[in-house]
C-alpha cells in the first residue's frame, strides 16, 4: 500500500511518500519526503494567484504521477488566531487543489485532525521518555513538518489496516528506525540533531 501524506502550511507544506506492508504487523518504508517548492502564499491579485496555482498544481501532479499512490491523506489546517486572508486561506486553497486532483484521478483521500493522530502517537509513547511528539522533534535531522507528514501517513496506514495506530511505537528501535528512514529519504538538507537517539 502506497500512501502520499501531507502536513499543510503556507511556507512549510511537507509531503511524505510511504510504502506500507503487512508482514505479521505493519512495516513502513519512507520513499521520499520534503517540502513543496511552489506554495500558494500571495492573494494580492488574481494574476499572482493564478500563476502560483498553476505551479503548485503542476508540482503535486508530478508527485502523484511519480509515486502512483493508493491513498492520499492530509492534516486538516485549522488557523487558530491567524488573520483571514493570509495563512489559513492560502493553505486551505492548496488543500482544495490536492482534493480536486485526487477526485479527478479517482484516488481515495482523507483529512485528519492534528489532535487525532498526535493523541494516538502520544498515547503509544505514554510510558517512555520523551513521550510527546514535540519533544521528539529534537531527535530528527529533518524539519518537524516532514516528520509530521510521515507520521500522518503511518497513522492512516494503521487505520486502513484496522490496527491500533503506533501500537509498536513504545519500542524505541521501531521509532528510531522510522526516523532514520525519514532522514535518508529527505529532499531537504538535514540539520544537526539536538538530542542523540538510542538507535540509528
Length of the chain: 200
Identify the bridge partners of residue 5 per DSSP, sorted by sequence position: 16, 73
Q: Considering the entire predicted model, what is its pTM?
A: 0.92
According to the model, what pLDDT value does residue 169 have? 82
> Going from the N-terminus, what domains does the chain have, and what CATH number goes with each?
2-184 (3.30.420.10)
Q: Which residues contact 179 (CB under 8 A, 6 or more apart)?
A: 139, 140, 147, 197, 200
According to the model, what pLDDT value does residue 167 have? 83
- pLDDT by residue for the chain (200 residues), tens only, comes to 999 999 999 889 999 999 988 877 778 899 999 999 999 988 888 888 899 999 999 999 999 999 999 999 999 987 665 555 577 889 999 999 999 999 999 999 999 999 999 999 988 887 777 667 888 899 999 999 999 999 999 999 999 999 999 888 888 888 899 999 999 999 999 999 989 888 87
CB-CB contact of 31 with 19 (8 Å): yes
b/e per residue 59-87 (b: at least 16 CB within 10 A): bbeebbeebebebbbbbebeeeeeeeeeb
SS3 57: helix
Q: What is the pLDDT of residues 46-101, one digit of tens each?
A: 888 899 999 999 999 999 999 999 999 999 987 665 555 577 889 999 999 999 99
According to the model, what pLDDT value does residue 109 have? 97
Q: Residue 189 corresponds to which cell in the numbers above?
A: 538538507
Greatest alpha-carbon pair distance for the chain in Å reads: 54
* Rounded-to-integer distance, Cα 192 and Cα 200, Å: 14
Judged on CB neighbours under 10 Å (0-12, 13-18, 19+), 200 is middle
Amino acid at each position: 500500500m502506497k500512501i502520499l501524506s501531507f502536513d499543510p502550511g503556507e511556507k512549510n507544506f511537507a509531503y511524505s511518500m510511504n510504502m506500507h506492508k503487512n508482514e505479521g504487523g505493519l512495516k513502513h518504508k519512507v520513499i521520499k519526503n520534503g517540502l513543496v517548492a511552489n506554495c500558494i502564499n500571495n492573494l494580492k491579485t488574481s494574476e499572482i494567484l493564478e500563476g502560483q496555482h498553476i505551479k503548485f498544481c503542476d508540482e503535486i501532479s508530478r508527485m502523484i504521477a511519480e509515486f502512483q499512490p493508493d491513498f492520499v491523506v492530509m492534516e486538516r489546517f485549522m488557523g487558530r488566531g491567524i488573520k483571514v486572508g493570509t495563512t489559513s486561506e492560502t493553505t486551505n486553497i492548496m488543500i482544495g487543489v490536492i482534493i480536486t486532483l485526487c477526485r479527478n484521478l479517482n484516488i481515495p483521500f482523507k483529512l485528519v485532525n492534528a489532535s487525532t493522530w498526535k493523541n494516538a502517537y502520544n498515547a503509544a509513547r505514554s510510558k517512555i521518555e520523551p513521550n510527546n511528539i514535540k519533544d521528539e522533534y529534537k531527535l530528527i535531522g529533518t524539519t518537524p513538518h516532514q516528520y509530521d507528514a510521515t507520521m500522518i501517513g503511518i497513522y492512516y496506514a494503521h487505520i486502513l489496516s484496522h490496527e491500533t495506530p503506533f501500537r509498536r511505537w513504545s519500542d524505541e528501535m521501531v521509532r528510531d528506525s522510522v526516523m532514520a528512514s525519514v532522514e535518508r529519504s529527505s529532499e531537504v538538507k538535514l540539520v544537526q540533531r539536538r538530542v542523540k537517539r538510542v538507535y540509528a
